[in-house]
């Protein structure tokens, strides 16, 4: 049985594997351009590193898939009596994964680890670099009224202002969402960064796994003010894509759609990750939703000096 086949079986039985590391998610965003590294101890898989393998400028690279917030390492939780035992266990598993990485003949490696991974020291010892990134998340959405009470006064006013004038629709088709997002960006002078084909694959896969929903806020004339695609696993929901019509930017719909999504997800997951916070204007909005700031690691390494030079020239 191949490593990918073993990993598919693992994903079926292990609830702690985050959404963006699940095999069905990797199928949707990478097609067949993905594989996985595994570490086994005593006949049990204790560590995994699913990865997106691509050619950049003709060089083999592992990169973060499009529309994928986190990726990279999963490690099985182990019952320990002391912290040094946990760190020793992580070091052993991570070192085995790094050894396999180093044998792939890569020119470049970059992945954003899930926030549950808090130890990247073994990667540092092997020459990898780290950039700390931030997102904002509501830790518990189990009591939505309590969550709403912790919204900033401005966010509460926005919801109250528009909730009698606008309404939630759960019937928006994926092509309608994509068109709305594309048009909204064009009106701001921006270009959409993902293809409809990719969006359609993600939406279909999420629907098939009971892990995704489009939320749309419309007025009485049926015009969409704001729409949101949320995906989730048992631990958290993630705001994957968010579209706001520029001409309705002040209607309050952009806040109402978040509030409606939170209420919808109460019995489906535990927390709500806004999947962002590095852009100052976005951060200012997200921290007003009763959120906590969360950090996660972007880990990277150039194995090839030639690729590093060419890639820097290419990005200019």
pLDDT tens figures, 147-161: 999 999 999 999 999
| φ/ψ of residue 287, rounded to 5 | -75, -5
Contacts of 218 (CB under 8 A, 6+ apart): 166, 167, 169, 224, 225
Residue 283 lies in a domain: no
Over range 20-33, report the average pLDDT: 98
Over range 62-88, report the average pLDDT: 93
Same domain, 111 and 16: yes
Pick the closest to residue 298 from 141, 91, 66, 134 (CA basis): 134
Same domain, 130 and 12: yes
Same domain, 65 and 145: no
Residue 316: pLDDT band by 50, 70, 90 thresholds?
low
Measured between alpha carbons, how far is 256 from 158 in angstroms, rounded to an integer?
7
Residue 312: pLDDT band by 50, 70, 90 thresholds?
confident
Over range 214-222, report the average pLDDT: 96
Residue 284: pLDDT band by 50, 70, 90 thresholds?
confident
Pick the closest to residue 141 from 265, 46, 294 (CA basis): 265
Query: H helices within 224-273, ranges in order?
Result: 253-264
Same domain, 9 and 132: yes
Measured between alpha carbons, how far is 172 from 105 in angstroms, rounded to an integer?
44
Q: Which helix (H) or strand (E) holds 298?
A: strand 292-302
pTM score of the predicted model: 0.94
* Cα dihedral: 232, 46, 97, 55 (round 10): -40
Over range 121-140, report the average pLDDT: 97
Same domain, 41 and 131: yes
Tell me what pLDDT residue 194 has: 97
Tell me what pLDDT residue 280 has: 79
**Percentage with pLDDT > 90 across the chain:** 89
Same domain, 126 and 183: no
Pick the closest to residue 13 from 45, 49, 50 (CA basis): 45
Residue 284 lies in a domain: no
Q: Tell me if 199 sits within 8 A of 182, measured CB to CB.
A: no
Higher pLDDT, 256 or 57: 256
Q: Tell me if 274 sits within 8 A of 239, measured CB to CB.
A: yes
**Percentage with pLDDT > 70 across the chain:** 100
Residue 126: pLDDT band by 50, 70, 90 thresholds?
very high
Same domain, 149 and 107: no
Same domain, 207 and 154: yes
Tell me what pLDDT residue 315 has: 72
Measured between alpha carbons, how far is 224 from 184 in angstroms, rounded to an integer?
11
3-class SS at 72?
coil
| Integer CA distances (angstroms), 33 to 18, 122, 193, in order | 19, 26, 19
Residue 280 lies in a domain: no
Same domain, 10 and 129: yes
Measured between alpha carbons, how far is 215 from 258 in angstroms, rounded to an integer?
9
Over range 18-33, report the average pLDDT: 98
Residue 279 lies in a domain: no
CATH number at residue 35: 3.40.630.30
Tell me what pLDDT residue 151 has: 97
What average pLDDT does the structure give for the chain? 95
User: In the chain, how many domains are there?
Assistant: 2
Residue 175 lies in a domain: yes
Same domain, 59 and 102: yes
Residue 290 lies in a domain: no
The string of pLDDT tens digits covering residues 169-209 is 999 999 999 999 999 999 999 999 999 999 999 999 999 99
Measured between alpha carbons, how far is 187 from 286 in angstroms, rounded to an integer?
23
Per the listing, tokens 């928006």 go with: 172
Residue 60 lies in a domain: yes
Q: Which helix (H) or strand (E) holds 274?
A: none
Over range 91-102, report the average pLDDT: 98
Higher pLDDT, 65 or 277: 65
Same domain, 66 and 132: yes
Same domain, 104 and 190: no
The answer on pLDDT for 278 being more than 90 is no
Residue 160 belongs to domain spanning: 141-269
Measured between alpha carbons, how far is 69 from 56 in angstroms, rounded to an integer?
20
Residue 165 lies in a domain: yes
């Amino acid at each position: 049985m191949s490593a990918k086949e073993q990993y598919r079986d693992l994903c079926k039985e292990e609830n702690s594997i985050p959404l963006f590391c699940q095999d069905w998610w990797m199928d949707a965003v990478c097609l067949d351009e993905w594989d996985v590294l595994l570490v086994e101890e005593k006949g049990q898989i204790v560590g995994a590193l699913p990865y997106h393998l691509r050619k950049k400028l003709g060089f083999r690279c592992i990169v973060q898939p499009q529309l994928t917030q986190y990726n990279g390492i999963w490690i099985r939780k182990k019952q320990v009596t002391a912290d040094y035992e946990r760190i020793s266990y992580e070091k052993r598993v991570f070192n085995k994964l790094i050894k396999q990485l180093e044998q792939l003949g890569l020119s470049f490696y970059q992945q954003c680890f899930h926030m549950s991974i808090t130890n990247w020291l073994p990667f540092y010892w092997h020459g990898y670099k780290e950039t700390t990134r931030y997102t904002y998340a509501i830790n518990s959405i189990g009591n939505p009224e309590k969550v709403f009470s912790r919204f900033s006064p401005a966010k509460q006013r926005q919801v109250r202002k528009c909730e009698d004038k606008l309404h939630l629709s759960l019937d928006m088709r994926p092509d309608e969402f994509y068109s709305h997002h594309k048009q909204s960006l064009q009106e701001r002078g921006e270009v959409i960064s993902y293809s409809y084909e990719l969006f359609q694959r993600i939406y279909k896969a999420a629907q098939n796994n009971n892990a995704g929903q489009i939320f749309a806020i419309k007025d009485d004339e049926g015009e969409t003010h704001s729409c949101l695609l949320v995906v989730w696993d048992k631990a958290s929901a993630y705001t994957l894509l968010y579209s706001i019509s520029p001409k309705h930017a002040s209607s309050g719909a952009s806040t109402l759609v978040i509030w409606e999504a939170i209420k919808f997800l109460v019995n489906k997951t535990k927390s709500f990750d806004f999947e962002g916070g590095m852009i100052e204007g976005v951060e200012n909005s997200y921290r007003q939703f009763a959120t906590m700031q969360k950090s996660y690691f972007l880990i990277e390494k150039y194995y090839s000096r030639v690729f590093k030079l060419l890639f820097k020239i290419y990005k200019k």
